[in-house]
């Protein structure tokens, strides 16, 4: 099962202790990982399919992630390819603002949802 981690604070904080524990808890059942956070008003997302417990990229990302909002995801693929592009979180630019989001499950009607969002712009 996919797992989500979220941190929301009234000031910038770090998940340098919690995120490695989150990754370790789900090993070895994973098909990718992702971490998203804000730098100012811009969302930064780092995703990969390597083992976060041994990943230099994951370690550096956790050290840099200092924000009011941090979202992380451990992926267990139920559909779609095992690739960084299918790992969460996702960044979406809407109304001149970056949004971070992640979900558990499969969005079967993604194309219909996408067209609905585009038509409301």
Residues marked active site are found at 2
Measured in degrees and rounded to the nearest 5, phi and psi for residue 26 equal -100, 0
Nearest to 25 by CA among 61, 1, 56: 1
Give the Cα separation of 75 and 3 in Å (integer). 7
């Amino acid at each position: 099962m996919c797992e989500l981690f979220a941190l929301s604070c009234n000031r910038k904080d770090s998940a340098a202790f919690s995120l490695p524990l989150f990754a370790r808890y789900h090993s070895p059942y994973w098909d990718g990982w992702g971490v998203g956070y804000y730098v100012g008003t811009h969302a930064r997302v780092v995703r990969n399919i390597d083992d976060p417990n041994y990943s230099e990229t994951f370690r550096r990302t956790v050290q840099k992630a200092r924000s009011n909002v941090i979202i992380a995801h451990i992926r267990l693929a139920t559909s779609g390819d095992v690739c960084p592009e299918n790992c969460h979180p996702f960044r979406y630019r809407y109304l001149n603002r970056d949004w971070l989001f992640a979900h558990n499950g499969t969005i079967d009607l993604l194309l219909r949802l996408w067209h609905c969002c585009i038509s409301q712009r």
